[in-house]
A and B are shown apart, each in its own frame.
Chain A
């Protein structure tokens, strides 16, 4: 007797399954009005949302809104007092960053492919939202021809977008990922770029009132050029160096170099004091580089293990003694560096090749450090009355980037220290983390600004921006350390045991086994910390730095001449909120993509 006996064959069983009912009405019934409670909740919260958008749009397009306060102060918000005739330096910096970013995207193969269905869904949502807002705006407006055209235009464009999106979602093959995601991004970014050439923005008129005027050429032309540079450089990079692993190292090095070069060379434009260089820095640098290279070559000999430590200790004593006499600062820096190199020489000791390489690293480091000190000592040709060449969003970004770059390695070290088996490191790291984390960032900023000048040796001054960077970085490191520690603790004991069983040293185990896994596991927390740090930079206003938010909140509402913006607070604040949101949202999206790429949450 076979099983077939008990199976009833019917006509229906041969048919494909009935597609589930769909359409807006069905969707609404299952999602919004499935029960009495849900219906009530939907109506109440739908009403609240509608009211919110109604008031919001009404506020934004209101007759007496002073959006001209934002447009007139756009340069102040972005770069504060950076001289306009030098602004090509800013555009150049942005271009460098963009080219590097595009090369990175190409080399890492960061682009994914999206299905027509997914793009269509996004388009439909965006279009529907745009139509919704335009409809509210049109209803708000007294139907004078100018504004009604914009409102109705938005409505039509939104509906067209939604329609296109709907069409894209049709058909089974629409779910196959085939559209490059970077192309979608490029097209999406082209919209605001193109809009700059079309739209008119509120502009204040001298003597009162505002009018609609096109965006200044000095804004839209560089932005368009930057956009084209980005697109072209991605296409070129994708065809030439695309997805080749050997370019990854150099790219990382370029990124690391790009920050000091952009800030110290391009933006600051130092006037190199050549007479001082030839009389002081060149001889000092050359002497240290050559003599030091010989010493390093000598101490990196594995047979002379203790020599490095002895030489290192000797140089360190020299470094301490150098504070007793009057000497150029670069000598002290190089002495300290020499002591560290000599002390770590046994770790890198090896045969002839390794010794030569170690001496070479020393040589290059001396050259770089001396060059950097010269850059710092040199006067800036950027004359700005505010005393600093960084301000506005151009202060917020370097603060966040430098703060992050400094706090990440420090955080990793602190996390390793806190999980270390050596009591001294554990104790020091724990003490650091608990002390720093236990005090608000504002307090650390005030300490850096108000107390630090009294602690520093006479004659050593630190610029405000740098103090803020250190306060932010040291503060953020404590939080990062705890996040990373969480990751370290999530790693199974088997990983440690397996590493030990393979005969790995503690350093090898940490670098190759535990740390990579720990960092991967805590990416969401790390990104949260980056976003928090980015927003925390707005606290530097408490120590008198003109960051983006401070300009929006305190500077613009206090301008009386030539344009009178006294008390205009709401518009700049709303604009600032929008800018912060766009930036942090992009960060969060990028991190989601990274997580997906690393397969986080799938294992």
Chain B
């Protein structure tokens, strides 16, 4: 009797386990034709010879990690689609690899989980305004594509207290608001220490909350990447909340360097080349004045453009792409300027005079030659 009861109990427990096990198995990503052939390698740091390029081609869609809630970089629209500067580079990559800028799945990632999502193979590439740092490049096991946007942390205050020429030494005694969990917090603490200023730091969860506090006067200063500050100020001006010079952004030279660009798993050169040259293709197109509108005419005039955007295209086929891969990028998404202006001009960010101007106009955006 005892034994029977025990067996029955065991069976019930095992049934529960089965229910759980069954469901867990059932949750293999739905786009795989068979459950045993899930494409995602568990740790692509040690890929068994298969490049992410092949994985993406077999799957037919690119999985791109974005933020989903970063003004002008990756915004979720009222209809659920994702737009923005980062999102457009995702589309450019999808156009290069798959020939279709819409063959894409965006994965919204938080700052905490982004690198794990990449190293576990859940996403193919990370374009989530991620700063290129030494530790991320080395110990975290990431590789970085060329920087697509040079940002830098700045501060914003009211013009009664600060001016555009203020420095970190002037913020002594001020209450400063920022969002927690990013390098922003660390940068300002270190910077103020070096400048010999004491600040009172108030951290909140998201940047809009920091702005709320700044507007309410709870804090004298807010700090985040310059692009974010410019965007928030432009909005406040447009909504008539403030006049153009009520808020000032300083110091002129940002207190930190924030080179933002695509990130992929390390030790996957085939995939790295594809991502890098997709970015370079948009930059080269920009240098030559090629845009979405005139790319086909320019190909006939310019030999480098002819090499990069088609013609014989053996440079692309050698990379494992179609000969017309980069033509698709320009035609479906656009050149660097197209992408930049479309997404960043509306929030008050312009290329002229910034680090993101072309290298021959004093900026840092530069690409090696295509030949």
Residues of A near any B CB (own CB < 8 A): 64, 72-73, 75-76, 79-82, 84, 208, 268, 270, 273, 276, 280, 309, 326-330, 332-333, 336-337, 339-340, 343-344, 346-347, 369, 372-373, 376-380, 384-387, 391, 406, 409-410, 413, 422, 425, 446, 449-450, 453-454, 456, 458-463, 466-467, 470, 505-507, 541-546, 550-551, 553-555, 557-564, 566-570
Are the CB atoms of B36 and A208 closer together than 8 Å?
no
- The docked-state distance in angstroms from the alpha carbon of A362 to that of B5 is 22
Specify which chain A residues have a CB less than 8 angstroms from the CB of B22 in the assembled complex: 333, 336-337, 369
A-B contact pairs, 16 of them (CB 8 A): A81-B79, A81-B80, A333-B25, A347-B7, A347-B11, A373-B26, A378-B30, A379-B31, A384-B80, A385-B81, A459-B37, A557-B206, A560-B75, A566-B231, A567-B235, A569-B209
Q: Which residues 72-130 of B have a CB within 8 angstroms of A?
A: 72, 75-83, 102, 104-110, 112-113, 116-117, 120-122
B253 at the interface (CB under 8 A from A): no
Are the CB atoms of A560 and B79 closer together than 8 Å?
no
Specify which chain B residues have a CB less than 8 angstroms from the CB of A380 in the assembled complex: 30
Closest 7 CB pairs of A and B: A81-B80, A344-B11, A453-B120, A329-B35, A557-B208, A387-B105, A466-B27
Specify which chain A residues have a CB less than 8 angstroms from the CB of B209 in the assembled complex: 569
- The docked-state distance in angstroms from the alpha carbon of A39 to that of B169 is 55
Partner of B76, one of A79, A450, A453, A551: A551
Are the CB atoms of B79 and A75 closer together than 8 Å?
yes
B360 at the interface (CB under 8 A from A): no
- The docked-state distance in angstroms from the alpha carbon of A407 to that of B218 is 43
Are the CB atoms of B9 and A462 closer together than 8 Å?
no
CB distance from B47 to the nearest CB of A (A): 11
Specify which chain A residues have a CB less than 8 angstroms from the CB of B346 in the assembled complex: 560-561, 564
Are the CB atoms of A387 and B106 closer together than 8 Å?
yes
B318 at the interface (CB under 8 A from A): no
Partner of A453, one of B9, B110, B122, B347: B122
CB distance from A302 to the nearest CB of B (A): 11
Closest to B2 in A: A422
- The docked-state distance in angstroms from the alpha carbon of A376 to that of B22 is 11
Are the CB atoms of B110 and A544 closer together than 8 Å?
yes
Specify which chain A residues have a CB less than 8 angstroms from the CB of B15 in the assembled complex: 340, 344
Are the CB atoms of B11 and A80 closer together than 8 Å?
no
- The docked-state distance in angstroms from the alpha carbon of A309 to that of B14 is 13
Q: Which residues 232-286 of B have a CB within 8 angstroms of A?
A: 232, 235-236, 238-239
Are the CB atoms of A456 and B116 closer together than 8 Å?
no
Q: In the complex, given contacts A347-B4, A463-B30, A546-B108, what are 6 additional A-B residue pairs having Cβ atoms less than 8 angstroms apart? A: A270-B30, A422-B6, A461-B40, A542-B110, A560-B231, A569-B211
CB distance from B316 to the nearest CB of A (A): 26
B157 at the interface (CB under 8 A from A): no
Residues of B near any A CB (own CB < 8 A): 4-16, 18, 20-38, 40-43, 63, 68-72, 75-83, 102, 104-110, 112-113, 116-117, 120-122, 206, 208-209, 211-212, 215, 231-232, 235-236, 238-239, 343, 346-347
Partner of B79, one of A84, A309, A449: A84
Specify which chain B residues have a CB less than 8 angstroms from the CB of A467 in the assembled complex: 27
- The docked-state distance in angstroms from the alpha carbon of A468 to that of B323 is 42
- The docked-state distance in angstroms from the alpha carbon of A336 to that of B208 is 51
Are the CB atoms of A386 and B106 closer together than 8 Å?
yes
Are the CB atoms of A329 and B80 closer together than 8 Å?
no
Are the CB atoms of A336 and B21 closer together than 8 Å?
yes
Main secondary structure of the interface of A (DSSP, over half): helix
CB distance from A547 to the nearest CB of B (A): 11
- The docked-state distance in angstroms from the alpha carbon of A380 to that of B35 is 15
Closest to B344 in A: A560
Are the CB atoms of A385 and B71 closer together than 8 Å?
no
CB distance from B95 to the nearest CB of A (A): 15
Specify which chain B residues have a CB less than 8 angstroms from the CB of A569 in the assembled complex: 208-209, 211-212
CB distance from B19 to the nearest CB of A (A): 8
CB distance from A322 to the nearest CB of B (A): 11
Specify which chain A residues have a CB less than 8 angstroms from the CB of B18 in the assembled complex: 336-337, 340
Are the CB atoms of A410 and B16 closer together than 8 Å?
yes
- The docked-state distance in angstroms from the alpha carbon of A261 to that of B327 is 44
Which of A75, A461, A559 has its CB near the most chain B CB atoms (within 10 A)? A461
Specify which chain A residues have a CB less than 8 angstroms from the CB of B79 in the assembled complex: 75-76, 81, 84
CB distance from A393 to the nearest CB of B (A): 13
Partner of B116, one of A73, A450, A466: A450
Are the CB atoms of B105 and A377 closer together than 8 Å?
no
Are the CB atoms of B69 and A376 closer together than 8 Å?
no
Are the CB atoms of A346 and B70 closer together than 8 Å?
no
Specify which chain B residues have a CB less than 8 angstroms from the CB of A507 in the assembled complex: 5, 8
Given A453-B122, A544-B108: A76 touches B78 (CB 8 Å cut-off)? yes
Which of A385, A409, A562, A570 has its CB near the most chain B CB atoms (within 10 A)? A385
Given A329-B28, A561-B75: A343 touches B232 (CB 8 Å cut-off)? no
CB distance from B352 to the nearest CB of A (A): 20
Are the CB atoms of A413 and B120 closer together than 8 Å?
no
Specify which chain A residues have a CB less than 8 angstroms from the CB of B33 in the assembled complex: 273, 276, 377
CB distance from B17 to the nearest CB of A (A): 8
Closest to B26 in A: A376
CB distance from B21 to the nearest CB of A (A): 6
Which of A330, A409, A554, A562 has its CB near the most chain B CB atoms (within 10 A)? A554
CB distance from A208 to the nearest CB of B (A): 7
Are the CB atoms of B110 and A543 closer together than 8 Å?
yes
Are the CB atoms of A564 and B238 closer together than 8 Å?
yes
- The docked-state distance in angstroms from the alpha carbon of A380 to that of B29 is 10
Are the CB atoms of A460 and B28 closer together than 8 Å?
yes
Specify which chain A residues have a CB less than 8 angstroms from the CB of B82 in the assembled complex: 385-386
CB distance from A105 to the nearest CB of B (A): 29
- The docked-state distance in angstroms from the alpha carbon of A570 to that of B206 is 13
Partner of B347, one of A75, A410, A470, A560: A560
Closest to A551 in B: B76
Are the CB atoms of A555 and B8 closer together than 8 Å?
no
Are the CB atoms of B105 and A385 closer together than 8 Å?
yes
Specify which chain A residues have a CB less than 8 angstroms from the CB of B41 in the assembled complex: 458
- The docked-state distance in angstroms from the alpha carbon of A378 to that of B20 is 20
- The docked-state distance in angstroms from the alpha carbon of A546 to that of B25 is 24
- The docked-state distance in angstroms from the alpha carbon of A378 to that of B31 is 7
- The docked-state distance in angstroms from the alpha carbon of A12 to that of B145 is 99
Specify which chain B residues have a CB less than 8 angstroms from the CB of A373 in the assembled complex: 25-26, 35
CB distance from A270 to the nearest CB of B (A): 8
Specify which chain B residues have a CB less than 8 angstroms from the CB of A280 in the assembled complex: 34
Are the CB atoms of B8 and A391 closer together than 8 Å?
no
Partner of A559, one of B31, B77, B206: B77
Specify which chain A residues have a CB less than 8 angstroms from the CB of B108 in the assembled complex: 386, 544-546
Are the CB atoms of A543 and B113 closer together than 8 Å?
yes
CB distance from A450 to the nearest CB of B (A): 4
Partner of B25, one of A208, A329, A562: A329
Specify which chain A residues have a CB less than 8 angstroms from the CB of B42 in the assembled complex: 453-454, 456, 458-459
Are the CB atoms of A564 and B28 closer together than 8 Å?
no
Specify which chain B residues have a CB less than 8 angstroms from the CB of A328 in the assembled complex: 34-36
Specify which chain B residues have a CB less than 8 angstroms from the CB of A456 in the assembled complex: 42
Are the CB atoms of B9 and A558 closer together than 8 Å?
no
CB distance from A475 to the nearest CB of B (A): 14
Closest to A334 in B: B22
Given A344-B11, A373-B26, A567-B232: A554 touches B80 (CB 8 Å cut-off)? no
Are the CB atoms of A386 and B110 closer together than 8 Å?
no
Closest to A450 in B: B116
Specify which chain B residues have a CB less than 8 angstroms from the CB of A340 in the assembled complex: 11, 14-15, 18
Are the CB atoms of B113 and A446 closer together than 8 Å?
yes
Are the CB atoms of B28 and A327 closer together than 8 Å?
no
- The docked-state distance in angstroms from the alpha carbon of A569 to that of B179 is 15
Are the CB atoms of A454 and B120 closer together than 8 Å?
yes
